[in-house]
């Protein structure tokens, strides 16, 4: 009987084309699921006949209640080397090895700037008007040069976003709970004395923090009220860092110029979710990690992980 591998959330149906799965020979059978499972019962039923599961990012939780229902599962592979929705203790108790893959910071960096530029220059509105016979020029773009870019987080991605902002001639400031003046200076940016100072003093704010107990709901109604009416907010990190109801409120009331969002409290976003119709919102369906190079890395290393596991020498083990 072959070692059966399920690939979850393969929305574009490309998982088998971005890696050489034939390297596993006839030892492994790969089945790709292009539809997302929203109910644990449906997911448990779908995965019951598989020895291995490949899951993308942190969209699909693997709690003990699910792992206990998958006695055949022996290998769980997550894209990235950190996953907060896998119960590692339950995986170990059920004899499941959890492995990760490397992930590039370049795709989310590039998407961050796509959203920032799209907002600042009204690209969606102008493109729609041009294609639909609307007015010739209906927006006035916001300049970047000389404006202040505020970064919540100056880690692997935030520091690279800062470099692009500096190249545009922006004044870049950053804040996080443990960011020091020395680290900020090394990145060529100013350290904001507080989260509040950063929010009130920035023309564009971009979120680049990991989700944790400290950062969950870091930006609530009080914090968003500090943003200037002309400011833009971009979040390509994690939805839970920004209070979703508070964000919807400031967008509907026009208290900020706009927001660019790539992450949501529920994914995929339900058809009737208010984020789909919010004004002043430029939204993308969690494309931050979705690029050819990243997919080649994810699925290529997933193949390596499976081969190593079958050879009794697992690699990139998590937990």
Q: What percentage of the chain has pLDDT greater than the value 70?
A: 100
Q: Containing H/E element for 293?
A: helix 292-310
Q: Using the predicted structure, report yes or no on whether residue 19 has a pLDDT greater than 90.
A: yes
Q: CA nearest 155: which of 125, 130, 114, 186?
A: 186
The number of CA neighbours under 13 Å toward the Cβ of 280 is: 19
Residue range 280-313, pLDDT digits in tens: 999 999 999 999 999 999 999 999 999 999 999 9
Q: Which residue has the tokens 């700037």?
A: 113
Torsion (CA) 254, 255, 256, 260 in degrees, nearest 10: -60
Q: What is the DSSP letter of 47?
A: H
Give residue 38's pLDDT: 93
Both structure tokens of 172: 């870049």
pTM of the full predicted structure?
0.93
DSSP three-state, residue 105:
coil
Share of the chain residues as helix, strand and coil, in percent rounded to the nearest 5: 35, 15, 50
Q: Which of 147, 208, 286, 297 is catalytic?
A: 286
Question: Quick check: is 178 catalytic?
Answer: no
- 80's torsion region: left (phi>0), alpha (psi -120 to 50) or beta? left
DSSP category for residue 172? E
Which of 249, 219, 231 has its CA nearest to residue 150? 231
Round the average pLDDT of the chain to a whole number and report it: 97
Angle at 291 between CA 287 and CA 293, to 5 degrees: 155
- How far, in Å, CA of 39 to CA of 44, rounded? 9
pLDDT digits (tens, 9 = 90+) for 169-211: 999 999 999 999 999 999 999 999 999 999 999 999 999 999 9
Annotated catalytic residue within 160, 238, 297, 304: 238
Name the E strands within 189-229: 190-191, 204-207
Given pLDDT bands bounded at 50, 70 and 90, which one contains residue 44?
very high
Chain-centroid distance, C-alpha 41: 26
Say what the pLDDT of residue 16 is: 95
What percent of the chain stands above pLDDT 90? 99
pLDDT in tens, 244-264: 999 999 999 999 999 999 999
Q: Please state, in angstroms and rounded to a whole number, the distance separating the CA atoms of residues 142 and 167.
A: 17
Active site residue 36: no
pLDDT in tens, 101-146: 999 999 999 999 999 999 999 999 999 999 999 999 999 999 999 9
Cα distances from 40 to residues 63, 115, 216, 235, in angstroms, run: 10, 33, 24, 28
- Is 267 assigned a catalytic role? yes
Tokens (6 digits) for 136: 């010739």
Per-residue pLDDT tens digits for 65-78: 999 999 999 999 99
- DSSP-based three-state secondary structure for 217: coil
Give the residues across from 54 on adjacent strands: 7, 77
pLDDT at res. 1: 82
57, 267, 297, 304: the active-site residue: 267
Asked whether the beta carbons of 283 and 262 are under 8 A apart, the reply is yes
Residue with tokens 């919807």: 248
DSSP calls for 4-35: EEEE---TTS-GGGSS-GGGGGGGEEEEE--S
């Amino acid at each position: 009987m072959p070692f059966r591998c399920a690939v979850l959330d393969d929305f574009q149906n490309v998982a088998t084309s971005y890696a050489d799965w034939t390297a596993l020979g006839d030892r492994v059978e790969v089945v790709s699921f292009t539809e997302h499972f929203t109910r644990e019962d449906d997911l448990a039923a779908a995965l019951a006949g598989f020895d291995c599961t490949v899951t993308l990012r942190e969209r699909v939780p693997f709690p003990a209640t699910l792992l206990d229902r998958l006695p055949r599962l022996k290998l769980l592979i997550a894209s990235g080397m950190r996953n907060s929705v896998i119960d590692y203790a339950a995986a170990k108790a059920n004899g499941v090895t959890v492995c990760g893959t490397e992930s590039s910071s370049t795709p989310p960096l590039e998407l961050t700037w796509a959203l920032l530029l799209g907002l600042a220059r009204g690209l969606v509105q102008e493109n729609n008007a041009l294609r639909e016979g609307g007015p010739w020029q209906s927006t006035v773009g916001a300049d970047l040069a000389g404006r202040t870019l505020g970064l919540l987080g100056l880690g692997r991605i935030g520091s690279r976003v800062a470099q692009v902002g500096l190249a545009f001639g922006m004044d870049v400031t950053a804040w996080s709970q443990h960011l020091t003046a020395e680290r900020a200076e090394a990145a060529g940016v100013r350290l904001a004395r507080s989260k509040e100072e950063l929010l009130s003093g920035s023309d564009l704010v971009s979120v680049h923090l990991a989700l944790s107990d400290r950062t969950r709901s870091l930006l609530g109604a009080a914090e968003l009220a500090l943003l200037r009416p002309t400011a833009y907010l971009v979040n390509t990190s994690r939805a839970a860092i920004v209070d979703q109801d508070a964000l919807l409120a400031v967008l509907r009331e026009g208290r900020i110029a706009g927001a660019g969002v790539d992450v949501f409290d529920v994914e995929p976003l339900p058809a009737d979710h208010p984020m789909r119709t919010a004004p002043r919102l430029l939204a993308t369906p969690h494309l931050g990690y979705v690029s050819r190079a990243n997919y080649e890395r994810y699925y290529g290393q997933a193949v390596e992980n499976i081969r190593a596991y079958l050879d009794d020498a697992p690699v990139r083990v998590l937990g």
